[in-house]
Amino acid sequence: MCGIVGYIGKQEVLPILIDGLKRLEYRGYDSAGVAVVNKDGRLDVRRSVGKLKNLESALEGKGIKGSLGIGHTRWATHGRPSEENAHPHRAGGIVVVHNGIIENYIQLKNRLIKEGCKFTSETDTEVICHLVNMYSKKGNGLEEAVRKALKDLHGSYAIGVINENEPDVLIGARNGSPLVAGIGNGEYFIASDIPAILNHTRDVIFLDDNEMIILRQKKYAITDMDGMPVEKEINKVMWNPVMAEKGGYKHFMLKEIHEQPRAIMDTIRGRISQETGHIYLDEMKLSEEEIKGLKKVMIVACGTSWHAGLTGKFIIEELVRLPVEVDIASEFRYRNPIVDKDTLFLAISQSGETADTLAALREAKKNGAKVVSICNVVGSTITRESDGIVYTHAGPEIGVASTKAFTTQLTALFLLAVYFGVVRGKIDGKYLKELLKELVHLPLLIEDALKTDKEIEGIASAYFNYRDFLYLGRGINYPIALEGALKLKEISYIHAEGYPAGEMKHGPIALIDEDMPVVVLTADDKVYEKVLSNIMEVKARGGKIIAIASEGDKEIAKKVDSVLYIPRCNHFLTPILLSIPLQLLAYHVAVLRGSDVDQPRNLAKSVTVE
């Protein structure tokens, strides 16, 4: 997944494609490519690994001239970053660029191989090319061949398709991944995001799921997947290009906070079956016998990923009944830990390049541990050196303060814990279906939680001038209190501490007065009464309290200064929902203080030094 650009018209297509891809660079990518139907009817496909300048070098002097083409920047999800895995992909005269995840690509690939198709990449996208090519050979035009191919797919996609043998048509389609069409004067564009085409037109059509657009030199049509016409409004985009890169949001961080429902759905996609109650985590490369033989789990991470690991400890120990240790990676190497062949070493890293986590992983491997990583970057060093992987499909995260990468890590940990619980006989079929039902419903609950954005902005305006904050949580929500405090200090430069609520009386209570706002996480029925006692202790000392509570808890509003509500959900998923208002609170406080939210001082997105 990452950036798509397509063009059909009268201009030279190559400069338009390269310019569009450059305007999508902010999304992050590991490879890039273009396909152009030349004026002589010849199809030219060029791809390269790394930055767009590498692709430009590969194109230099090749004499590619045409007015129909597609381009792509890739963020690897299936297959490592390499030239053969880069888009566009080709089968016969058919060329495809694709964002999304095809869940049934293995079944489709096996079917196509039996029919004589030769695959040259590790990607899920290549099956789309072969399907379209197969239906083309059966006498269908490109439009109908694409329509038939898409009906075979399960999963998410935004695609651009061209055919060497039909040089007057460009097709775009979407289901679950964004795609926009640009309407020019006798020319048309497709793109995964508006910035790619904003230099050429401000008239756009936003495709909805299960819609296809057929673009020709002087006309276009939009249909559903059955070929029925669809009427769509042309929208006038008034954003400036910088704002457009951020999808209309003021900062990348805010955009990424609002992307969490889709990021979590993408992390779940293809990994569970509610009908059969199965969980598919084959990429971990752990047999059921190995899982049953584990004596303990060691989770190692840094920063926000460490907070995910601490939360994972609560989930794994309760659902799997397996002891879990959680270490900060920079400490792990120097304490002579007890690790052996019956230990599962779980490395968590957003970037897959965190130096301390990588060093700890290598130490664990020396001692014979099975190593599995939870990571967001395909082909990163940590994933290459792990025995197995669980990828979080959060997509590129530009803001330095992690948001969607964190909640997808929690999602991956929940999936892993439930899977282990089933294999080790701790979760029966009925309970499994309940858990999976809750998980599938989670993105909708996050959308509800995001609706409190304006309310949170109002609360932030009352507190942004305070110099110190205390965050309190109990049980599974204690690590989320740590994460909330970290988010605030990272981007607003306010001193903030996360603490177990029960430990408040062992020190932090001495700091509480009217100048110390306290954020209390109360959304957990198991320890609700205990947390209420902590609230009363803070209140007795004049502290100002912001509570984050479960929907319907009217009593809490009588005891605190401000309250934010999240939807009720399963105990193990509450930490994900609690993260949303904490991220938004930190964001709005930082904005009000004039901080550089996306690039806070002294911090880097990937810490590649020890």
Task: Dump pLDDT digits (tens) for 287-300.
Answer: 999 999 999 999 99
Strands 180-183 and 188-191: antiparallel
Neighbours of 496 (CB within 10 A): 25
- Name the helix (H) or strand (E) containing 190: strand 188-191
CB 101 within 8 A of CB 154: no
Phi, psi (5° rounding) for residue 160?
-125, 135
Query: Residue 243 above 80 pLDDT?
Result: no
Contacts of 106 (CB under 8 A, 6+ apart): none
Q: Which of 2, 302, 375, 569 is catalytic?
A: 2
The per-residue pLDDT for range 211-226, each reduced to its tens digit, is: 999 999 889 999 999 9
Is there a catalytic annotation at residue 605? Answer: yes
Query: Residue 604 above 70 pLDDT?
Result: no
> DSSP secondary-structure letter at 207?
P
Residue 400 is predicted with a pLDDT of: 85
Average pLDDT, the chain: 92
Query: Stretch 415-434: mean pLDDT, rounded?
Result: 96
Query: Residue 476 above 70 pLDDT?
Result: yes
Q: Where are the beta strands (DSSP E) in 350-450?
A: 370-375, 388-391
Residue 514 is predicted with a pLDDT of: 86
Residue 436 is predicted with a pLDDT of: 95
CB 108 within 8 A of CB 127: yes
Query: Residue 337 above 90 pLDDT?
Result: no
Quick one: what percent of the chain has pLDDT higher than 70? Answer: 97
Q: How confident is the model at residue 76 (pLDDT cuts 50, 70, 90)?
A: confident
Q: How confident is the model at residue 91 (pLDDT cuts 50, 70, 90)?
A: very high
Question: What radius of gyration do the chain's Cα atoms show?
Answer: 25
Query: Stretch 372-381: mean pLDDT, rounded?
Result: 87
The per-residue pLDDT for range 20-45, each reduced to its tens digit, is: 999 888 667 889 999 999 998 899 99
Rounded CA separation 325/335 (Å): 13
The per-residue pLDDT for range 124-149, each reduced to its tens digit, is: 999 999 999 999 999 999 999 999 99
pTM: 0.78
Query: Stretch 540-568: mean pLDDT, rounded?
Result: 91
Residue 531 is predicted with a pLDDT of: 84
Query: Residue 316 above 60 pLDDT?
Result: yes
Q: How confident is the model at residue 380 (pLDDT cuts 50, 70, 90)?
A: confident
Q: Which of 109, 313, 544, 605 is catalytic?
A: 605
Query: Residue 507 above 90 pLDDT?
Result: no
The per-residue pLDDT for range 446-473, each reduced to its tens digit, is: 999 999 999 999 999 999 999 999 999 9
Query: Residue 122 above 70 pLDDT?
Result: yes
In which residue are the tokens 């398709």 written? 161
Rounded CA separation 153/266 (Å): 15
Q: How confident is the model at residue 609 (pLDDT cuts 50, 70, 90)?
A: very low
Query: Residue 245 above 90 pLDDT?
Result: no
Rounded CA separation 338/472 (Å): 32
Q: How confident is the model at residue 242 (pLDDT cuts 50, 70, 90)?
A: low
- Any idea how long the chain is? 610
Is there a catalytic annotation at residue 2? Answer: yes
Q: How confident is the model at residue 1 (pLDDT cuts 50, 70, 90)?
A: low
Residue 158 is predicted with a pLDDT of: 93
The per-residue pLDDT for range 143-187, each reduced to its tens digit, is: 999 999 999 999 989 999 999 999 999 999 999 888 999 999 999
Query: Stretch 527-550: mean pLDDT, rounded?
Result: 87
Q: What tokens appear for 608 in the block?
A: 């590649």
Cα 277 to chain centroid distance, Å, stands at 24
Longest dimension (CA), the chain: 82
Higher pLDDT among residues 542 and 4, named by residue: 4
